[in-house]
């Protein structure tokens, strides 16, 4: 019975790691591991998985979980002196039992507040005091919302600067049948060409080789059209001007120990991010970055996908 669905449940996941299961009354669900504050599952009301997690993912700290939604903080990739993608995805987060006031426009009870604060060991790597609060929520329609709030709690008067990304791995039926809408004509940095700047040509982004690009000054809405599944995944974002598009393709896939050789065909990363212009917070200041994911049936127009209707709709 739907009335018996518990909206928030603490459970044991792979290798005994603690996870939180969120359930919405209509049947959608999400799973979040305390390790990494890491969303590893997002299912629609039919129980279909919308995120990709590698079959070879290691759920063993300190290795990050391969797939789902890793959080890149305080550094995206190798854009700085820290280990690639920073350390938030390798830390054990806590449930925030006393979250500060949180404006919410949803009546959903399916949400969890997590918090990450630096340990003494962390301070040696990145000598700044901060509070990173993450809310993961399932909306009534099955939308998945992640809101990050990062506050500078330094007592020495020092500001700090960071880059950030929700490194979302979407599940797709066949990468060669997928297109991404909303990034046409934009400038991007190509990570495969030493971060050289180019301008995107053409209507939609399609995939026939390795891609690793940081699109700049992107719109608040990006759509991933999955032709085979007749499904469009829509990413809406706020406070995150950049968007990373990544697929490792065959050679890189084979080189990753925690990634299946052919799994690149069934995943695509589209990542809401703040990279080109790093964020600086003075003590007491707070930054907020939010992404909302939704899945809608694709509109068809004489057998073709009609992405304009998706992007121009609410």
Residues taking part in catalysis: 167, 271
The answer to whether 270 and 188 have CB atoms below 8 angstroms apart is no
Return the structure tokens found at 186.
Answer: 């934009």
DSSP single-letter state for residue 205: B
The answer to whether 169 and 156 have CB atoms below 8 angstroms apart is no
Alpha-carbon distance of 154 to 170, in angstroms, equals 36
DSSP single-letter state for residue 124: H
Alpha-carbon distance of 152 to 285, in angstroms, equals 6
Q: Which of 13, 3, 58 is CA-nearest to residue 34?
A: 13
- The CA-atom distances, in angstroms, between 234 and each of 45, 225, 311, 313 are 16, 9, 8, 11
Q: Which of 227, 258, 254, 253 is CA-nearest to residue 60?
A: 258
Residue 163 CB partners (closer than 8 Å, separation 6+): 72, 74, 75, 76, 79, 80, 273, 274, 275, 278, 279
DSSP single-letter state for residue 265: G
CA neighbours closer than 13 Å in the CB half-sphere of residue 80: 22
């Amino acid at each position: 019975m739907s009335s018996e669905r518990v909206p928030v449940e603490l459970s044991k996941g792979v290798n005994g790691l603690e996870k939180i299961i969120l359930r919405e009354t209509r049947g959608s669900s999400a799973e979040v591991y305390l390790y990494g504050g890491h969303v590893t599952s997002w299912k629609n009301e039919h129980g279909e998985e919308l995120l990709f997690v590698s079959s070879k993912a290691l759920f063993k700290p300190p290795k990050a979980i391969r797939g789902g939604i890793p959080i890149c903080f305080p550094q995206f990739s190798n854009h700085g002196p820290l280990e690639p993608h920073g350390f938030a995805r390798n830390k054990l987060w806590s449930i925030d039992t006393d979250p500060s006031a949180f404006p919410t426009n949803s009546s959903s009870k399916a949400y969890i507040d997590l918090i990450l604060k630096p340990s003494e060991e962390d301070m040696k790597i990145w000598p700044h005091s901060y509070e990173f609060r993450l809310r993961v929520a399932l909306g009534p329609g099955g939308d998945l919302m992640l809101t990050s709030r990062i506050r500078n709690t330094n007592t020495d008067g020092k500001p700090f600067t960071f880059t950030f990304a929700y490194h979302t791995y979407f599940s797709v039926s066949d990468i060669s049948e997928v297109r991404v809408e909303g990034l046409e004509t934009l400038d991007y940095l190509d990570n495969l060409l030493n971060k050289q700047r180019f301008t995107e040509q053409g209507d939609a982004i399609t995939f026939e080789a390795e891609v690793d690009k940081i699109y700049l000054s992107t719109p608040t809405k990006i759509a991933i059209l999955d032709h085979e599944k007749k499904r469009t995944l829509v990413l809406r974002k706020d406070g995150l001007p950049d968007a990373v598009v990544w697929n490792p393709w065959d050679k890189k896939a084979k080189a990753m120990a925690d990634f299946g050789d052919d799994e690149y065909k069934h995943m695509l990363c589209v990542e809401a991010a703040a990279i080109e212009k790093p964020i600086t917070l003075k003590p007491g200041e707070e930054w907020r970055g939010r992404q909302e994911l939704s899945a809608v049936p694709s509109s068809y127009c004489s057998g073709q996908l009609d992405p304009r209707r998706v992007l121009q709709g609410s």
